């Protein structure tokens, strides 16, 4: 398995070639290198996965070279392959490849074709580095690399300053989380003397008892990093704006890379979170709150991509909820199915957007069921999976596992369960509101360019995956297959349950399914739900977070910067210089050459000195 | 002897360059280039053979050179080189070579005198990095100053005379305090140990009263943090950097600031261990404030060079933070930061110079939308902007991470404050890209992208910053023997290891 270094190396190499030789290799060459590097990485991942499963699930570590070595602090550029990184690597390369393939169609007319693929390759490479890293510093390299690529790609159409602002926002907001994560790394260096994941996790249980303040602080800081990258409360504000990038970028950010990094980080350091119950409970609460807030915001958007963006935030909320209640493998399961159906939905939306000549407002779409039947059916498949239509969608199996475990797990309770099913209800409403608005009703905008084959093939593949990927893990009530959780067991502990009840599990699934159908039915009856307009606006603007941050952080900083542009410290020195100069002026004014002033000066001086002498002699 | 030659060849080259201008105005460039390339090769060669050198030198010192100069006063011409000085020399000659290249088209007037000053300032810097006699150190410290004054004052931009004066007065004032401290140390040593000497090695471990040590230490410290510079002594820097010609900015940011950092590592901490520990929290706080305040000011600037100049204030705050954390992680980080900051900021100044050559402005407000016209330069700028905000994979990240991880162990709260600087660095760094390359251009620019000469300058810098980001071990190994023994505990996961100042 020495060759697994090729998995991250190929996309990096692809990016390098595309930066240096884009002109020489021509457009076909760019497509070949851009898609090929990720495609071959996906193939290698498949082979590695085959060997991994065939070879007794043996974890594999590949040291490439020594990065830093100071005393007993050693960090290597070392890759680590186990079930968890394999699952992520597979999704990143496979879905990533499909997105690249789709992009060859979507971006075909863009003058910066090569730059686009270079950034996309770099993105995939960084994300692979993140999930294959054997230590937290290398993970941090991938982590920040992903941030950079999101910046480059969200601001890809750089001529519009709004895109640049969205790109900077994404980078800066996630960097706030990264700073918290950096401090967690300093704490880990201080207390465990290492950043190697296996060492940290082994030493953590020896160093800290459950609930120890240090490990709690570390877990909270790691959570800070995770909420930044995964766009959870309170750092979720960058993701809706990230829609400024080309649609395949959104698909890549939302489905295969970037936003799932936080899920990966928490799953990877699960031992630290288990040692810090307060932090782990916070993960669940963050997830629960986020999934509701984002669901409500998704419901009132008019831009199709923003609906999907809020939907992503909400679905990652489910994953955080799963992590928070200790359902580690359920979170990974939902990550996999979500990657398929969200990539499908985004690229389906992209096909619609291109077909309607870059129209993103859902209220100007409609009736596309007839003019774009292929897109309609795949989009419907994705929507069904997002809504978790029972039995026939992958989303059903993964989401219902989370819904059920939110209650039945030892850390769960009925409150989480309620939130989860209400979330499912909202999901059904906003998803089918989108489907009905876009594909049903009257045609409002005429179709210009029906999507070509390079765009449709990835959609068909993803539609198949969104339907059947759920069968790798089936609940007790239906077949009871545990392929994924068995595979992940050596890395992720299994869920401790507070009770087991097949009957209640049926009830949970039944209620969730019923609510989903109810949601669809309500929205079918009427697309306009009579909420107060003010509330809708509030939801549409993401619950006022942007405005609050703008008032609390951005404006004071900008004002302070403007006000002190010329650096008040310098006033001290210019003041000193000015004082010296005015002394000089005062003194040189006395040197006037007029004799009577000199005599006057002498007399005054003499009088002064004499008075002082007399004063000292006789008066005091 | 080789150490003496490093300086001698530079001085000889300086005079030769000046004289050669009589023959041909282009000749000084070639002489300066050859001299610096030669020295770079030698210094890099020593680094390459470092293991070899360490084999026959048991201590941290690789080479020493000693000639009596004024024995009556205990002054000798004493030079020595360890890993730290070696790295600084490599950096000096590397950036020196690039400064010659960067001036190729920019400097048309008085080329002979320009290259005389350039080589002379480099000779002074080389002396500062090598000398082990405090009297000689002060001498070289002043030697750096005067040619730099001319470089800014003669070949600078609009407000050059003001900037040159300001630079001179600040550095000179700090230098005088250092001179007082040097003399104080000299007499204290004579009084307590019975011998008049300026030798660094003899003055180490001078017995002195605690109070005396603290006052003497402050004299040195002020000189070095003015040069570094730290808030509130930083205000000479934006003026000097902005008004200097590109080569001057590169030498100032890349090298002169490093002499301050070097002075702290070489003199302040080893000569005054007790006082250093005593003042450490305060100094680290100054460092953290510098990181934040410099970053905030950088964000506010509208002049490209001034913006980059303020980022130096921010980045040098890390040096102060790490140097006074007293552990190996932070110490390694500080040396790394000295090198990577020299490279990344040097590169940004070169880019500013190249843009000025094309647009004849440094105003960010007049740029924008340059990406289509200058894609090559855009990619290069992106790399160094990312280096400046501390993107992992580039050298600056290694430096900042090591400094912060090390200083966290000494002062967690101050370090947490400094870590916020990472966010501010992101804010001001991305502003550069947006203002210069993104957005729409006001005019349709038809500009030449990177020329071959510019490529020759920038590609080595890119290679260096990536290499230091992914494989910094050669630097770490070179520095290692020189780290004071009391620093060697890198991490104290046994919790109770507290570093006590040596009595």
Give A-chain residues touching B471 at CB under 8 angstroms: 65-67
Beta strands in A127-262 (DSSP E): none
Enumerate residues 531 to 590 of chain A having a beta carbon within 8 A of any beta carbon in chain B. 557, 560-562, 564-565, 567, 569-570, 572-573
Q: Are the beta carbons of B402 and B322 closer than 8 angstroms?
A: yes
Does one domain contain both A318 and A459? yes
Q: Are the beta carbons of B383 and A122 closer than 8 angstroms?
A: no
Note the residue count of chain B.
Answer: 503
Does one domain contain both A599 and A509? no
- Contact A67/B at CB under 8 A: yes
Enumerate residues 430 to 489 of chain A having a beta carbon within 8 A of any beta carbon in chain B. none
CB contact set of A522 (below 8 Å; sequence gap of 6+): A429, A529
pLDDT at A512: 83
What are the tokens at A475?
């609940």
Given phi > 0 = left and psi -120 to 50 = alpha, else beta, which region is B369? left
Note the residue count of chain A.
Answer: 620
pLDDT at B344: 93
Query: Smallest Cα–Cα separation from A395: which of A429, A417, A434, A427?
Result: A427
pLDDT at A488: 79
- Contact B371/A at CB under 8 A: yes
Q: Are the beta carbons of A199 and A189 closer than 8 angstroms?
A: no
| Facing residue for A183 by CB, picked from B301, B419, B491 | B419
B387-390 contacts at long range (C-beta below 8 A, 24 or more positions apart): B387/B340, B387/B343, B387/B344, B387/B347, B387/B465, B387/B469, B388/B311, B388/B315, B388/B344, B388/B345, B388/B348, B388/B425, B388/B429, B389/B422, B389/B425, B389/B426, B389/B429, B389/B430, B390/B422, B390/B425
Does one domain contain both A502 and A602? no
Pairs across A and B, CB distance < 8 A:
146
Mean pLDDT within B204-222? 88
pLDDT at B503: 40
CB contact under 8 A, B473 and A191: no
Q: Are the beta carbons of B320 and B283 closer than 8 angstroms?
A: yes
A366 SS3 class: coil
Does one domain contain both A518 and A572? no
A518-521 contacts at long range (C-beta below 8 A, 24 or more positions apart): A518/A425, A518/A428, A519/A387, A519/A424, A519/A425, A519/A426, A519/A427, A519/A428, A519/A429, A519/A432, A520/A387, A520/A428, A520/A429, A520/A432
Is the pLDDT score of B399 beyond 70? yes
Q: Return the number of other C-beta atoms located less than 10 Å from residue B369's C-beta.
A: 18
Residue of B nearest to A184 (CA): B405
> What is the tally of structural domains in chain A?
2
**Is the ipTM, as predicted for this complex, more than 0.95?**
no
For the stretch B246-262, pLDDT in tens is 888 999 988 999 999 99
CB contact under 8 A, B401 and A573: no
Does one domain contain both A494 and A585? no
Query: Smallest Cα–Cα separation from B69: which of B133, B141, B4, B125?
Result: B133
For the stretch B170-204, pLDDT in tens is 989 999 999 999 999 999 888 888 888 888 888 88
Does one domain contain both A482 and A607? no
Smallest CA–CA distance, residue A615 to chain B, in Å, is: 40
CB contact set of B369 (below 8 Å; sequence gap of 6+): A159, B437, B438, B439, B440, B441, B442, B445
For all residues of chain B together, what is the average pLDDT?
87
Q: Are the beta carbons of A309 and A439 closer than 8 angstroms?
A: no
Stated as kind and residue range, the H or E segment containing A80 is strand A73-81
Side-chain-facing half-sphere of A450: CA atoms under 13 Å: 10
DSSP letter string over B129-171?
HHB-BHHHHHHHHHHHHHHHHHHHHHH--TTHHHHHHHHHHHH
Mean pLDDT within A275-290? 91
What are the tokens at A618?
């006789």
CB contact under 8 A, B423 and A179: yes
| Facing residue for B405 by CB, picked from A72, A176, A186 | A186
Residue of A nearest to B170 (CA): A573
Does one domain contain both A390 and A288? yes
Mean pLDDT within B478-503? 59
**Mutation site for A-interface testing, chosen from B313, B371, B438 by largest number of A Cβ within 10 Å:** B438
Smallest CA–CA distance, residue A233 to chain B, in Å, is: 19
For residues A359 and B33, what is the distance between their CA atoms, to the nearest angstrom?
Answer: 58
In a domain? residue A466: yes
For residues A528 and A544, what is the distance between their CA atoms, to the nearest angstrom?
Answer: 23
pLDDT at B56: 63
For residues B122 and B114, what is the distance between their CA atoms, to the nearest angstrom?
Answer: 12
Is the pLDDT score of B499 beyond 60? no
Confidence of residue A201 (pLDDT cuts 50, 70, 90): confident
- Residues of chain B with pLDDT > 90: what percent? 40
CB contact under 8 A, A161 and B472: no
pLDDT at B221: 92
Does one domain contain both A415 and A473? yes
DSSP letter string over A29-55?
HHHHHHHHHHHHHHHHHHHHHHHHHHT
For the stretch A462-493, pLDDT in tens is 888 888 887 777 777 777 777 777 777 778 88
Highest average pLDDT, of A199-203, B334-338, B362-366, comes from: B334-338
For the stretch B434-479, pLDDT in tens is 888 888 876 666 778 888 888 888 999 999 999 999 999 889 888 8
Mean pLDDT within A555-583? 85
Give B-chain residues touching A191 at CB under 8 angstroms: 493, 495
Query: Smallest Cα–Cα separation from A375: which of A283, A480, A478, A304?
Result: A304
- Contact B401/A at CB under 8 A: yes
pLDDT at B365: 81
pLDDT at B480: 83
Stated as kind and residue range, the H or E segment containing B63 is strand B63-70
**Mutation site for A-interface testing, chosen from B296, B388, B392, B441 by largest number of A Cβ within 10 Å:** B392
Is the pLDDT score of B497 beyond 60? no
Give A-chain residues touching B369 at CB under 8 angstroms: 159
- Per-state percent for chain B, helix, strand, coil, to nearest 5: 75, 5, 20
Smallest CA–CA distance, residue B300 to chain A, in Å, is: 5
Give A-chain residues touching B404 at CB under 8 angstroms: 182, 186
Smallest CA–CA distance, residue B479 to chain A, in Å, is: 10
What are the tokens at A592?
């006037």
Is the pLDDT score of B492 beyond 80? no
CB contact set of B179 (below 8 Å; sequence gap of 6+): B138
For the stretch A78-129, pLDDT in tens is 999 888 888 899 999 999 999 999 988 888 888 888 889 999 999 999 999 9
Is the pLDDT score of A244 beyond 60? yes
Is the pLDDT score of B496 beyond 70? no
For residues A562 and A40, what is the distance between their CA atoms, to the nearest angstrom?
Answer: 51
Is the pLDDT score of A399 beyond 90? no
In a domain? residue A372: yes
| Facing residue for A561 by CB, picked from B296, B332, B489 | B296
Given phi > 0 = left and psi -120 to 50 = alpha, else beta, which region is B20? alpha
Is the pLDDT score of B493 beyond 50? no
Residue of A nearest to B329 (CA): A70
CB contact under 8 A, A69 and B398: no
**Mutation site for B-interface testing, chosen from A9, A567, A581 by largest number of B Cβ within 10 Å:** A567
Does one domain contain both A314 and A387? yes
Smallest CA–CA distance, residue B468 to chain A, in Å, is: 10
CB contact under 8 A, A183 and B476: no
For residues A196 and A214, what is the distance between their CA atoms, to the nearest angstrom?
Answer: 18
In a domain? residue A300: yes
Does one domain contain both A390 and A503? yes
CB contact under 8 A, A159 and B491: no
In a domain? residue A153: no
Residue of A nearest to B331 (CA): A70
Query: Smallest Cα–Cα separation from B320: which of B231, B412, B390, B386?
Result: B231
Q: Are the beta carbons of A472 and A484 closer than 8 angstroms?
A: yes
Lowest average pLDDT, out of A444-448, A521-525, B270-274, goes to A444-448
pLDDT at B444: 63
| Facing residue for B438 by CB, picked from A66, A164, A185 | A164
pLDDT at B491: 46
In a domain? residue A245: no
For the stretch B100-111, pLDDT in tens is 998 888 888 888
Q: Are the beta carbons of A218 and A184 closer than 8 angstroms?
A: yes
Q: How far is CA A607 from the centre of its chain?
A: 82
A480 SS3 class: coil
- Contact A148/B at CB under 8 A: yes
| Facing residue for A73 by CB, picked from B371, B398, B491 | B491
**Whole-prediction pTM value?**
0.91
Strand partners for A77: A65
For the stretch A508-536, pLDDT in tens is 888 888 888 888 888 888 777 777 778 87
3-state DSSP of A95-127: HHHHHHHHHHHHCCCCCCHHHHHHHHHHHHHHH
The domain containing residue A612 runs over which residues?
567-619
| Facing residue for A144 by CB, picked from B301, B391, B473 | B391
Angle, in degrees to the nearest 10, between helices A136-154 and A197-207:
120
Given phi > 0 = left and psi -120 to 50 = alpha, else beta, which region is B326? left
How far CA B272 is from CA of B78, B171, B209, B319, in Å, comes to 21, 22, 11, 18
Query: Smallest Cα–Cα separation from A425: which of A379, A388, A470, A466?
Result: A388
For residues A381 and A109, what is the distance between their CA atoms, to the nearest angstrom?
Answer: 29
A284 SS3 class: helix
How far CA A265 is from CA of A135, A173, A259, in Å, comes to 11, 18, 11
- Contact A281/B at CB under 8 A: no
Does one domain contain both A377 and A442? yes
Confidence of residue B129 (pLDDT cuts 50, 70, 90): very high
Give A-chain residues touching B162 at CB under 8 angstroms: none
- Contact A178/B at CB under 8 A: yes
Give B-chain residues touching A114 at CB under 8 angstroms: none
Give B-chain residues touching A185 at CB under 8 angstroms: 401, 405
For the stretch B27-55, pLDDT in tens is 888 988 999 999 999 989 888 887 776 66
Smallest CA–CA distance, residue B394 to chain A, in Å, is: 10
Enumerate residues 195 to 234 of chain B having a beta carbon within 8 A of any beta carbon in chain A. 231-232, 234
Does one domain contain both A512 and A571? no
How far CA B29 is from CA of A604, B34, B118, B156, in Å, comes to 64, 9, 11, 18
How far CA A308 is from CA of A101, A291, A312, A462, in Å, comes to 21, 13, 6, 16
- Contact B402/A at CB under 8 A: yes
What are the tokens at A481?
């297959």
Is the pLDDT score of A240 beyond 80? yes
| Facing residue for B439 by CB, picked from A144, A158, A562 | A158
What are the tokens at B219?
């004299």
Strand partners for A497: A409
- Contact A141/B at CB under 8 A: yes
In a domain? residue A123: no
Residue of A nearest to B430 (CA): A168
Beta strands in A241-281 (DSSP E): none
Mean pLDDT within A175-199? 90
- Residues of chain B with pLDDT > 70: what percent? 95
């Amino acid at each position: 398995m020495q060759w697994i270094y090729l998995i991250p190396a190929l996309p990096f190499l692809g990016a390098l070639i595309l930066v240096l030789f884009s002109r020489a290799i021509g457009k076909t060459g760019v497509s070949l290198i851009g898609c090929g590097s990720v495609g071959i990485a996906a193939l290698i991942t498949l082979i590695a996965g085959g060997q991994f499963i065939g070879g007794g699930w043996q974890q594999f570590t590949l040291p490439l070279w020594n990065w830093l070595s100071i005393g007993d602090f050693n960090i290597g550029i070392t890759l680590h392959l186990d079930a968890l990184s394999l699952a992520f690597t597979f999704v990143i390369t496979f879905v990533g490849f499909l997105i690249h393939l789709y992009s060859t169609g979507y971006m075909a007319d863009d003058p910066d074709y090569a730059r686009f693929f270079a950034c996309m390759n770099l993105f995939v490479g960084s994300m692979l580095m993140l999930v294959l890293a054997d230590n937290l510093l290398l993970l941090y390299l991938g982590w920040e690399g992903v941030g950079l690529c999101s910046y480059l790609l969200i601001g890809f159409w750089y001529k519009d300053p709004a895109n640049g602002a969205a790109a900077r926002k994404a980078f800066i907001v996630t960097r706030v989380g990264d700073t918290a994560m950096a401090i967690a790394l300093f704490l880990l260096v201080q207390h465990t003397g290492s950043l190697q994941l296996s060492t940290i996790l082994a030493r953590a249980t020896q160093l800290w008892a459950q609930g120890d303040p240090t490990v709690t602080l570390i877990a909270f800081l790691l959570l800070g990093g995770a909420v930044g990258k995964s766009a959870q409360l309170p750092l979720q504000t960058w993701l809706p704006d990230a829609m400024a990038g080309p649609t395949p970028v959104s698909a890549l950010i939302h489905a295969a890379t970037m936003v799932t990094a936080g899920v990966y980080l928490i799953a990877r350091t699960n031992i630290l979170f288990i040692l810090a119950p307060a932090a782990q409970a916070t993960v669940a609460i963050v997830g629960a709150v986020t999934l509701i807030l984002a669901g409500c915001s998704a419901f009132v958007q008019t831009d199709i991509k923003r609906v999907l963006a809020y939907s992503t935030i909400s679905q990652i909320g489910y994953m955080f909820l799963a992590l928070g209640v200790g359902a580690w493998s359920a979170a990974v399961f939902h990550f996999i199915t979500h990657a398929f159906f969200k990539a499908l939905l985004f690229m389906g939306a992209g096909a619609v957007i291109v077909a309607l000549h870059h129209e993103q407002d859902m209220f100007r779409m409609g009736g596309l069921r007839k003019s774009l039947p292929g897109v309609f059916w795949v989009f419907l498949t994705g929507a069904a999976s997002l809504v978790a239509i029972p039995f026939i969608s992958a989303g059903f199996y993964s989401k219902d596992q989370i819904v059920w475990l939110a209650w039945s797990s030892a850390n769960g309770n009925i409150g989480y369960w309620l939130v989860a099913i209400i979330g499912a209800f909202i999901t059904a409403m906003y998803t089918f509101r989108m489907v009905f608005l876009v594909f049903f009703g009257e045609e409002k905008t005429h179709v210009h360019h029906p999507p070509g084959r390079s765009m449709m093939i990835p959609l068909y593949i993803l539609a198949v995956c969104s339907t059947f990927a759920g069968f790798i893990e089936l609940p007790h009530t239906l077949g009871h297959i545990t392929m994924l959780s068995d595979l992940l067991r050596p890395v992720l502990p299994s869920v401790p349950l507070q009770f087991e009840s097949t009957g209640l599990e049926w009830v949970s699934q039944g209620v969730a399914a019923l609510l989903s159908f109810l949601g669809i039915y309500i929205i079918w009856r009427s697309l306009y739900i009579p909420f107060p307009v003010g509330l809708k606006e509030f939801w549409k603007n993401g619950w006022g977070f942007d405005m609050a941050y703008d008032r609390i952080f951005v404006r004071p900083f900008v004002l302070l910067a403007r006000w002190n542009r010329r650096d008040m410290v310098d006033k001290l020195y210019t003041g000193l210089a000015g004082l010296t100069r005015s002394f000089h002026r005062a003194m040189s004014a006395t040197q006037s050459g007029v004799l009577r002033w000199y005599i006057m000066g002498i007399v005054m001086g003499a009088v002064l000195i004499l008075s002082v002498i007399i004063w000292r002699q006789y008066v005091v | 002897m080789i150490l003496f030659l490093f300086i001698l060849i530079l001085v000889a080259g300086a005079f030769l360059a000046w004289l050669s201008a009589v023959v041909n105005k282009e000749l000084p460039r070639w002489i300066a280039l050859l001299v610096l390339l030669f020295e770079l090769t030698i210094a890099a060669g020593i680094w390459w053979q470092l293991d070899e050198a360490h084999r026959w030198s048991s201590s941290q010192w690789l080479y020493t050179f000693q000639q009596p100069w004024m024995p009556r006063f205990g002054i000798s011409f004493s030079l020595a080189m360890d890993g730290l000085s070696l790295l600084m020399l490599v950096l000096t000659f590397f950036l020196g070579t690039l400064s010659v290249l960067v001036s190729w088209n920019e400097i048309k007037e008085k080329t002979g005198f320009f290259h005389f000053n350039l080589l002379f300032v480099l000779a002074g810097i080389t002396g500062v990095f090598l000398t082990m006699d405090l009297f000689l150190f002060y001498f070289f410290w002043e030697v750096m100053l005067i040619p730099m004054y001319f470089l800014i004052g003669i070949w600078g931009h609009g407000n050059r005379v003001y900037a040159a004066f300001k630079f001179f007065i600040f550095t000179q004032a700090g230098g005088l305090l250092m001179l007082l401290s040097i003399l104080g140390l000299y007499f204290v040593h004579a009084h307590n140990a019975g011998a008049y000497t300026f030798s660094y090695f003899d003055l180490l471990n001078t017995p002195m009263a605690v109070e005396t040590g603290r006052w003497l230490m402050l004299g040195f410290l002020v000189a070095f943090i003015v040069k570094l510079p730290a808030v509130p002594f930083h205000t000479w820097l934006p003026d000097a950097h902005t008004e200097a010609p590109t080569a001057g900015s590169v030498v100032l940011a890349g090298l002169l600031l490093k002499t301050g950092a070097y002075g702290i590592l070489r003199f302040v901490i080893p000569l005054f261990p007790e006082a250093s520990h005593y003042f450490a929290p305060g100094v680290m706080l100054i460092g953290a404030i510098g990181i934040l305040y410099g970053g905030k000011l950088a964000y506010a600037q509208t002049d490209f060079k001034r913006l980059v100049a303020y980022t130096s204030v921010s980045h040098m705050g890390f040096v102060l933070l790490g140097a006074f954390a007293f552990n190996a992680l932070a110490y390694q980080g500080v040396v790394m930061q000295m090198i990577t900051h020299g490279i990344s900021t040097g590169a940004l100044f070169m880019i500013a110079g190249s843009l000025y050559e094309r647009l004849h402005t440094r105003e960010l407000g007049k740029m924008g939308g340059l990406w289509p016209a200058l894609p090559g330069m855009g990619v290069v700028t992106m790399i160094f902007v990312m280096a400046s905000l501390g993107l992992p994979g580039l050298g600056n990240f290694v430096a900042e991470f090591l400094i912060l991880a090390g200083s966290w162990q000494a002062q967690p709260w101050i370090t947490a404050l400094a870590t916020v600087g990472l966010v501010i660095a992101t804010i001001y760094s991305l502003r550069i890209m947006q203002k210069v390359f993104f957005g729409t251009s006001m005019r349709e620019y038809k500009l030449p992208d990177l020329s071959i000469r510019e490529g020759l300058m920038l590609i080595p810098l890119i290679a260096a910053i990536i290499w230091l980001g992914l494989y910094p071990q050669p630097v770490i190994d070179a520095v290692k023997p020189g780290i004071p023994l009391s620093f060697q505990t890198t991490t104290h996961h046994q919790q109770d290891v507290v570093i006590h100042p040596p009595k």
